[in-house]
Structure 1
Amino acid sequence: MAAVLPLEPSTATGKQAQARRAPKQQGFSFGKYREIIIAVAFFLLFDLGVLVLNFYTSFKIDQDTVAINLAGRQRYVSQRIARTLLELDAARVADKPYKPETLAELRAGAKVFDISAAAFKEGNVVPGGDGKPVFLQPVTSERGRALEAQVDAVWKPYFQKLQPLLASDKFTPEDLAGALAYSQANNIKLLNIANDFVTETQQIGASRASTLRMVQTGGIVLALLNFAFILFKFLNRLKTSDAAIEAATEENREILQSVREGLFLITPDFKIGSQLSQSAHGLFGRTLTPGQDLFSLLAPLLPDKALADARDYVQLLFAPHVKEALVQGINPLSEVEAVMKNRLGQEVVRHLSFHFNRVQEGAGVRHLLVTVQDISARVELERKLQSERQRSQKEFSMLLKAIDADPAMLRQFVARAEQNLLEVNDLLRSTSSAQGETAILKRIDEARRRVHAVKGDAATLGLDTIAAQAHQFENDLDRIRQGGSAGGDLGNALLALPLPLEDLLNKIGSLKSLTGLQKPVADLAVSGEAINGVLARLAEDIARDAGKRVQPAITMSAIADLPPDASDLVREIAVQLVRNAVTHGIEAPISRTGAGKPEAGAVTVQLLRGETEWTLSVRDDGAGLSAPRIRRKLVEIGWYTAQQLESFDDRQIVAHIFKPGFSTAGGVTMHAGRGVGLDVVQANVQKLGARLLLGSTPGEYTEFKVRFAA
């Protein structure tokens, strides 16, 4: 009979007082439940009796099955003996030698028949149908014994006639003729007796099966009648108890429906009590049921380690010798993140806090009162504060790196980045006047080139915050470009970008204030050694992020002799080609060692001045350009079909690496995957009035050369 669960006070002291005021439960009374106990005892007795009879009858049926199978085998063996005698006689008439396999079959059949016939009379171990030994019980029925005597009367003379053939291969024709004559005279008789014996064994098995069914039916009927009696008595007692329980719990129900926290009790075996607050269901996002295991409920919400810790903690609280106040601070469920569905069926993340208080009775702990609160708003506020602190730390770290950077390079970066971002802003603002989707897409590509250049410049100076923000801005441009190609409104979509662009400009403005930039950039001098250093560091940073190793060799000192405009273009080209070389050219260490190369790839950058022209060379000893791979990528991204590419030679295929939006990378990362880097290179080569030369051998190297007038 279920016990009434009164609503306990929220403190341990109150619970103890409530427990002292509650009347003591009466001890177990045999007289009160005498009828039910006796009925249950009979029920168990019936079940035990049926079970014992089932085991015994099933054992006998198994033995009968063996007898049926072996009786059938006797019938088959008798036919096999007769057939082999005919085959031997046919060989004798044809004056051919007897086949060894025929003699072996005759001897095996005679041996099996003789052993089995003896076992049916006395019982013995015989070979089963699968060749494994089985114990054959003797036939005990009156008809079975009579049939065995008939078999014995026919078989013994038959077996004697077969002895010369069984003992040796040198038997006489007279021996064969005698055995064959006896076989032909008595085979039908022996077969009929064997058939009758099979029928007898089957009838014995059917009789046992019928007995088993009767026993089972009788036992089940008695058990059902007994169960009906138990159910009747139980329902009568339950009806009487329900009225008292309903009256005692009505006040608790009203209170539990009104509180906002999840409240319920758990027993020492971690089962939820019968009284739960209405809010508990909503906090868990599912209907809780009394008797449900608390840790089964928490299992989807916690990793295995946290679930085990929570179980240990709750067990500690149920130990009366452990001070409750001392273990409150190690509660592993003080904050739990849970993913559940709201009323609209949408998944939402909630943060729940569990607190446990003891409900004591005397010196023992009877229950734990569990209080569940939704602390999502507090956790969200803490995360926002933490995110803001991290952002501030990153910006502070960026400012420290900016202070350590080469002053001239930093000032040039600030000027170039500000100019590029303002031009991007102008491009976005002018989209409303552009006619057609093609024109807008061209503006997007130009904006992507400029933002990509800002990202590359920031990465060379170690300004990771600005590089990451520029990378995110590229994501936004890519998303708008892809959405526009599917029929979206490109012009309106671009108007949604001023906020991230303004944030980037604000960061550039902070750096501008830090540098105290006042004089024109043309008056600043950037040393060639500084360019060499930042390019080498850029190559090493990209390699580290990609899990590669690289040994850069940078010789760009002559860049200081170029005019400012040309110097900026050459530097941007070098940055993008170094990024491309490390990301796409240099292989992973394991691939390089497998190809017989050093683990660290070589990236060589040179700027040389000739008599009539300058040459910028960027070379890596990586995987080289693979025309088949580029061809597959063009089909994969849907630019061409395989049939369209059949007319392209390898040179035309490789030329697509300079197209905006084309990349052989598997996915978009900070350093690759957008198809913008070589697009920036080609645009700057055109602005420089230069020529771009490309050389590559698969598996050996890739080299870009930019030649322009001195």
Structure 2
Amino acid sequence: MARRITFNSAAIARYSGLIKSILLFLLLVIAVLVFNIYTSYLIERNAAQVAATQQLRGLTQTITRDLYDLKLSQGEDIRSPHIQSTVERLSKSKESFSKILLAFKQSGDISNAEGDTFSVNALSAANKTHLDIIDTQWTLLNGKLDQYLKVATNLRAPVLILDQAVDSAQGASIAIYNSSNAIVTAVDAASHKQATLIRYLQMGAISVAVLYFIVFMLYFVRRLTNSDAQANEARRETTEILDTVKTGLFLLDEDLMIGHQYSKELEGIIGHREIGGRNFTDILESMISDEDMTTTRGFIKQLYNPKVKERLIADLNPLSRIETSVDDLSGYQRTRFLDFQFSRVYSGRDIIRVLVNVADITDTVRLEQRLMQERENNDLQIDMLTTILNTDALLINDFISTVNQHNVTINNVLKAGGTSQSDLHGKLKQIFREIHSVKGIASSLNLFAFTNVSNAFEDKIKALQAEPNLSGDDFLPLAVSLDELIKLTQIIDQLNQRISPSSAAQHAAEPTQAPRKAMAQKLQQFAQDLAKRQYKQVRVTTQDLEQTTSIPAIDNAIRDIAIQILRNAVVHGIETPSLRSTKKKNPMGHVQIQLQQTENQAQLIIEDDGQGINYEAIRERAIAIGLYSAKEIAAWDNRKLLGLLFSSGFSTYGQTDEDAGRGVGLDLVKDRVQKLGGKIGIHSQPNQFTRFSFTFPLNP
């Protein structure tokens, strides 16, 4: 792209000495040329005067010779060719002499012997005396010639007229000849003087030019030497600056070509060597997407648009704080955060370049992330502290112990062997049950950090369950999530030990004592929180829930099942207040939880007065998700349809959120009951109630 050259006052001031010197030299050359032209004109004029004078002198001799010739030819027939030609030549010579003499007086054009016409200037005052002599002699001679020429063709003309003309020519020719010689000498002397002056002037001009050139060279060589020294010093300082700054600096033209000078740090920041002269897009193609590349080109184009204010488009910078993979120049790819900042470079009012400043802000971003993480951890600890302070200490201790058990179980499942697809999917189901149990307990205690981690954990499991082919490496993200859950458990354990060290020690010594009473209260609060999120109203009543069976596994199962079934009752069973009103029900739903014990068994009964089990909805959901065709499931009875509710991954809830939709709640319940040799009973009436009963043997 051609660049427009601009001049400003600073540039003119910088080169004023050079400009003045060149102008002075040009004036000197022009003066010499003008003088040469003028002197040449004078010499040419003098040469014309000399030629005219010589012609005048020759005419004098010609006239005198012709008169003598005519005198010697007296008696000859005047009509003879000799007489005729002599008289004609005499007449022409007389006319030419008069023209030359007139030109000497007042300038004019004359013709030479060859017929060529040239201009003759009047003689100078220095030759006036000689011109007067010639004029006087010619006047006398011209009169005699006129008299003779009038009778030259007359046979009876007196001979005396010719004799008088001859005598006059004889006397005038000497005077005219001498005066002509004097004029020629004077004009030659003037010409010689002028030629000498030109020669001296040329020699002087050449000497002055040579001297001026020497002075000019010495002066400007010194100036150039000083400028080069300053430029080298500036270049050295620039190099030192560019080698010292810890950011990447370079110039970018409108064609996105990078300048040849850039900071040393730039190569290390962007992972490219020999950057100068390369196109900016070649550097960026491995860092950003094609869409961002297009945006970057448009952004830089706007920077070169003088109508667009730079500060107005600064926020549109597409290369601000980008995350990218950069080669560290030793063959390793590293993730870095780079920040590109663009500034216009002006020359006068013209935008000539864009200065790009590239900073590696990886440490800053990492620090921000660390601070944010610490802030989140602090907020997390505050939330946990609030929960610990507002929750029964034994309940918190029981939660920590239970989650630790689940963590160990999940870890063992992850480490267990098995490479077949059925084994891998089985491991996913088992992990899903464990983490869903953790989420249920955490949700009942309002430990939202555990709830969020569990939700993320479940999302990863759901994603893996959707994969047709699994491998052991696919479980690595689950190990990361487990590690996060373990760290979270350690945090709440440490906080709990600081706040209630005695209760923690007591629970460690007597781990079988489940805090039933506190758990009953938490279930009621859990139901209220669920109902609020579902825009429902619910009341929970419990009976004998504070009893324990002295069998920790059964006590834990009763707790987990109570949480899961209560969740299902609120989410799936209890209707919204408006819908309950249309059914002539109390707008507030009711859930009853009762624990009955005999010598041989414990029975947990949970009943809600909601809409009952919708068997048709189960059938439609199975068809919708492709488990069975409409033909296959059409003949199923209610008992068989209930079996679907307890299968892993099946849910009639239309969406997945914190409260439902995972399809693992009842699967978890079935797993807990089966492992303890228990039984499940279900009784439901449409629009009236649903009752779950879980029976566990106490003497297995």
Q: How far is the alpha carbon of 1:530 from its aligned partner?
A: 0.9
Give the corresponding residue for 1:11.
none
Q: How far is the alpha carbon of 1:334 from its aligned partner?
A: 8.0
Q: Deviations over 1:562-591 (max 9, x none)?
A: 324222211111011112222323345665
Identify the match of residue 555 of structure 1 among 527, 539, 542: 542
Aligned positions of 1:560-639 closer than 5 A: 560-565=547-552, 566-588=554-576, 600-609=588-597, 614-639=602-627
Q: Is the CA contact (8 Å cut-off) linking 2:425 and 2:465 kept in structure 1?
A: yes
Give the corresponding residue for 1:152.
none
Q: How far is the alpha carbon of 1:657 from its aligned partner?
A: 0.2
Counterpart-to-counterpart distance in 2, 1:551 and 1:605: 13
Aligned positions of 1:234-383 closer than 5 A: 257-258=259-260, 279=280, 282=284, 285-286=293-294, 294=302, 314=311, 377-378=361-362, 380-381=365-366
Structure 2 segments unaligned to the other structure (5+ residues): 17-250, 264-276, 327-334
TM-score by length of 2: 0.50
Distance 1:708 1:422, change over 3 A: closer
Q: Is the CA contact (8 Å cut-off) linking 2:520 and 2:545 kept in structure 1?
A: no
Counterpart-to-counterpart distance in 2, 1:311 and 1:618: 70
Amino acid in the other structure paired with 1:443: K
Distance 1:380 1:601, change over 3 A: farther
Counterpart-to-counterpart distance in 2, 1:296 and 1:252: 7
Give the corresponding residue for 1:479.
463
Aligned positions of 1:164-175 closer than 5 A: none
Secondary structure of 1:563's partner?
A: coil
Distance 1:709 1:550, change over 3 A: farther
Structure 1 segments unaligned to the other structure (5+ residues): 8-14, 24-248, 262-275, 298-309, 318-330
Give the corresponding residue for 2:425.
441
Counterpart-to-counterpart distance in 2, 1:291 and 1:439: 54
Give the corresponding residue for 2:394.
408
Counterpart-to-counterpart distance in 2, 1:656 and 1:334: 54
Aligned positions of 1:188-203 closer than 5 A: none
Q: How far is the alpha carbon of 1:677 from its aligned partner?
A: 0.8
Say which one has the larger Rg.
2
Work out the percentage of aligned pairs sharing the same amino acid: 22
Amino acid in the other structure paired with 2:440: G
Bigger relative CO (Cα 8 Å, ≥ 6 apart): 1
Q: How far is the alpha carbon of 1:648 from its aligned partner?
A: 0.8
Give the corresponding residue for 2:120.
none
Amino acid in the other structure paired with 1:403: I
Give the corresponding residue for 2:486.
505
Q: Is the CA contact (8 Å cut-off) linking 1:313 and 1:332 kept in structure 2?
A: no
Distance 1:429 1:22, change over 3 A: farther
Which one is further off, 691-700 or 647-656?
A: 691-700
Distance 1:294 1:598, change over 3 A: farther
Distance 1:481 1:333, change over 3 A: closer
Aligned positions of 1:479-558 closer than 5 A: 479-483=463-467, 486-489=468-471, 491-494=472-475, 497-513=478-494, 514-515=496-497, 516=501, 517-518=504-505, 520=508, 522=510, 525-544=513-532, 546-558=533-545
Distance 1:556 1:456, change over 3 A: farther
Give the corresponding residue for 2:639.
651
Q: Is the CA contact (8 Å cut-off) linking 2:254 and 2:301 kept in structure 1?
A: no
Q: Is the CA contact (8 Å cut-off) linking 2:680 and 2:692 kept in structure 1?
A: yes
Q: How far is the alpha carbon of 1:469 from its aligned partner?
A: 2.0
Amino acid in the other structure paired with 2:294: R
Q: Does structure 1 residue 425 correspond to structure 2 residue 411? A: yes
Counterpart-to-counterpart distance in 2, 1:296 and 1:648: 74
Distance 1:381 1:557, change over 3 A: same
Q: How far is the alpha carbon of 1:464 from its aligned partner?
A: 1.9
Give the corresponding residue for 2:693.
705
Q: Does structure 1 residue 679 correspond to structure 2 residue 688? A: no
Counterpart-to-counterpart distance in 1, 2:298 and 2:440: 61
Q: Does structure 1 residue 389 correspond to structure 2 residue 378? A: no
Counterpart-to-counterpart distance in 2, 1:528 and 1:6: 89
Q: Is the CA contact (8 Å cut-off) linking 1:685 and 1:691 kept in structure 2?
A: yes
Counterpart-to-counterpart distance in 2, 1:290 and 1:443: 52
Q: How far is the alpha carbon of 1:631 from its aligned partner?
A: 1.0
Give the corresponding residue for 2:70.
none
RMSD: 4.9
Amino acid in the other structure paired with 2:458: E
Counterpart-to-counterpart distance in 1, 2:650 and 2:301: 56
Counterpart-to-counterpart distance in 2, 1:570 and 1:551: 21
Which one is further off, 407-416 or 500-509?
A: 500-509
Distance 1:5 1:408, change over 3 A: farther
Counterpart-to-counterpart distance in 2, 1:675 and 1:384: 35
Q: Is the CA contact (8 Å cut-off) linking 2:514 and 2:548 kept in structure 1?
A: no
Q: Is the CA contact (8 Å cut-off) linking 2:303 and 2:344 kept in structure 1?
A: no
Distance 1:479 1:250, change over 3 A: closer
Aligned positions of 1:95-244 closer than 5 A: none
